[in-house]
């Protein structure tokens, strides 16, 4: 239920934005990156790079190690999997919090659809979003050390959606370095 409420709120881009100070500071992080890489504009939706944070979909993430699945009930009806890069996995294995700089977490999501071969099974349908969190405690100091990116069909969604990310992770899992997912047993 909790994650349903969260994800729904995120899609509606609602009432709990990060503070303007947070956003302003995160924006300056973006500007730094954009200036360093002028051919890759970080400012617009429909870009490979998330607004505010300048986060991209990391190369090779589909081969990263699995952390846990999640199932989102109606209305989203999604299956999700969270993967981590080697730094993330090493930190999880050591119970290390906060996560070290260089940690990257990726959450993939699909509509869940009934299996054509076996009715009780639900399997991944259309891919919906890829979401990314990148740890850089200096660059993203105003947002708990995390930069955020949400991508649909490989393109970043708009700034309004990105303004919701930190607020929710901060409100609910500040005591776990702003990360919800625990290693599946
Ligand atoms: C209203 C709450 C809420 C908002 C807003 C939100 N998330 Fe999350 N996020 C969650 C929950 C709950 C999970 C746990 C996994 C699940 O249920 O899908 C999660 C998991 C994640 C994960 C996997 C790591 C972890 O913390 O478990 C990433 C990456 C992520 N979110 C990125 C984002 C990005 C990027 C945005 C903004 C575009 C965002 N989130 C906005 C609630 C939220």
pLDDT attached to residue 183:
98
pLDDT attached to residue 45:
57
**131 ligand 1 Cβ < 6 A:** yes
- Nearest atom within ligand 1 for CA of residue 173: 26
Mean pLDDT of 79-108: 98
pLDDT attached to residue 148:
98
Ranges of each domain in the chain: 2-176
The residue contributing the CA closest to ligand 1 atom 1 is 6
Distance, CA of 173 to CA of 179 (rounded, Å)? 6
Sign of CA dihedral 69, 139, 89, 92: negative
**149 ligand 1 Cβ < 6 A:** yes
Best of 1, 4, 7 for a ligand 1 pocket test (most atoms within 8 Å of beta carbon)? 7
pLDDT attached to residue 173:
98
**166 ligand 1 Cβ < 6 A:** no
CATH code for the structural domain at 2-176: 3.50.70.20
Instruction: Please give the distance, rounded to the nearest whole angstrom, from the Cα atom of residue 169 to the centre of ligand 1.
Output: 7
pLDDT attached to residue 134:
98
Provide φ and ψ at 171, rounded to 5°: -65, -35
In which band, very low, low, confident or very high, does the pLDDT at 171 lie, cut at 50, 70 and 90?
very high
**161 ligand 1 Cβ < 6 A:** yes
pTM for this predicted structure: 0.82
Residue with more model confidence, 18 or 142:
142
pLDDT at 37 over 60: no
Distance, CA of 158 to CA of 155 (rounded, Å)? 10
pLDDT (tens digit per residue) in 65-89: 999 999 999 999 999 999 999 999 9
Scanning 13-85, the segments in alpha helix (DSSP H) are: 20-36
Q: Strand runs (DSSP E) across 49-156, as ranges?
A: 65-72, 78-84, 104-114, 122-135, 146-152, 155-156
Distance, CA of 171 to CA of 107 (rounded, Å)? 19
Distance, CA of 62 to CA of 66 (rounded, Å)? 9
């Amino acid at each position: 239920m909790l994650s349903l409420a969260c994800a729904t709120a995120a899609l509606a881009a609602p009432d709990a934005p990060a503070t303007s100070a947070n956003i302003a500071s995160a924006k300056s992080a973006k500007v730094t990156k954009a200036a360093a890489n002028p051919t890759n504009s970080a400012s617009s939706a429909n870009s490979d790079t998330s607004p505010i944070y300048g986060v991209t979909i990391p190369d090779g993430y589909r081969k990263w190690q699995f952390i846990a699945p999640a199932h989102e009930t109606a209305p989203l009806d999604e299956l999700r999997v969270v993967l981590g890069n080697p730094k993330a996995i090493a930190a999880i294995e050591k119970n290390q919090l906060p996560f070290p700089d260089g940690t990257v977490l990726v959450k993939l999501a699909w509509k869940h659809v009934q299996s054509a071969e076996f009715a009780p099974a639900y399997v991944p349908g259309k891919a919906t979003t890829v979401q990314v969190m990148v740890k850089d405690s200096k660059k993203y100091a105003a947002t708990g050390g995390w930069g955020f990116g949400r991508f649909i069909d490989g393109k970043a969604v708009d700034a309004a959606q990105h303004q919701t990310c930190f607020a929710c992770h901060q409100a609910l899992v500040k005591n776990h370095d702003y990360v919800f997912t625990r290693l599946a047993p």
